[in-house]
Structure 1
Amino acid sequence: MLSLLLSFLLWILPAGRVAPHPLGSVDPCKIYGSVYLETDPNRANNCFAVVYIEPEQAFADLLVFNETNKLFADKAGLWCPSENREFADYTLFVTADRSRADFAIHYTKVRSFAGCKQ
């Protein structure tokens, strides 16, 4: 009977729900590897952080270089875009409102420029 009750609770509770974090508490310098960028607002609750894609390099918190191989995305700012959110190391929600983002990124074409701006 207890196992039936536990199974029922696992069925009705949402899977993968993460407690919301305070705005600005995410360290963008620790994000690397495969990254999935979510654009659907209905799935934003299951994302690790909210990110804004900054058009100007000077105002970004993190410079990102897109790697083609996940094995080379081993430092901050080196991201390998993932096509599937289940296989990504990080799932980030992309917002168009800068004030709602945890941090801002800017894509760079030079690998050595990638990383945190400190």
Structure 2
Amino acid sequence: MMQILWMGWMALLPHFVTPATAPAPVSGVSAAKDYCHVYGAVYLERDPRYKNTASAIVFLNEEEAFANLVVYRENNKLFADGPGIWFITPHKAFANHILYVTDQRYQADFTVFYTDVRSSATCRD
């Protein structure tokens, strides 16, 4: 009797035990390209105490030639609907993205240059 129970249990065991799987391979897409998806309402965090709550660290560049993202500041949140078009919100609760602003370029995940021309807003590779 015990042998029958043992065989029945062994027959059901594969249904309950999931096979070990290898970790998913790292894709060829770099995380550095995520800044192209930053648009909409953006809150710029400057307090170092809240640096860990930000989704990325950004450096505000003074030269357009060296910026990863050329940003146009939109006055209306509804029109901030494309890459590089931001509505800078004064309230963290209303933001789609929270970015920490650093003064050190080497700490930044990407760099930003502000433009006055909406059609110049773009994401650079």
TM-score range, shorter chain: 0.7 to 0.9
The residue correspondences of 1:15-26 to structure 2 (distance < 5 A) are 25-26=31-32
Report the structure number with the largest CA radius of gyration: 2
Q: Does residue 1:46 correspond to 2:64, yes or no?
A: no
Name the SS of the counterpart of 2:31 in structure 1.
coil
Taking the TM superposition and a 5 Å limit, the aligned residue runs for 1:8-19 are none
Counterpart position of 1:87:
94
1:16-68 CA-to-partner distances (Å, cap 9, x unmatched) read: xxxxxxxx724111000000000000001000100000100000000000001
Q: Which has the higher helix share?
A: 2
Q: Normalising by the residue count of structure 2, what TM-score does the alignment of the two structures yield?
A: 0.73
Which ranges of 4 or more aligned residues in structure 1 deviate by more than 4 Å?
A: none
Matches within 5 A, 1:61-72: 61-72=68-79
Structure 1 runs not aligned, ≥5 long: 1-23
- The 3-state SS of whatever aligns with 1:71 is helix
Q: Distance in 2 between matches of 1:106 and 1:28?
A: 13
Instruction: Give the Cα separation in 2 of the matches to 1:99 and 1:73.
Output: 28
**CA contact 1:25–1:102 (8 Å) conserved in 2:** no
Q: CA deviation at 1:115?
A: 1.4
Could you tell me the TM-score, scaled by structure 1's length?
0.78
Aligned pairs, how many? Answer: 95
Q: Percent identity?
A: 46
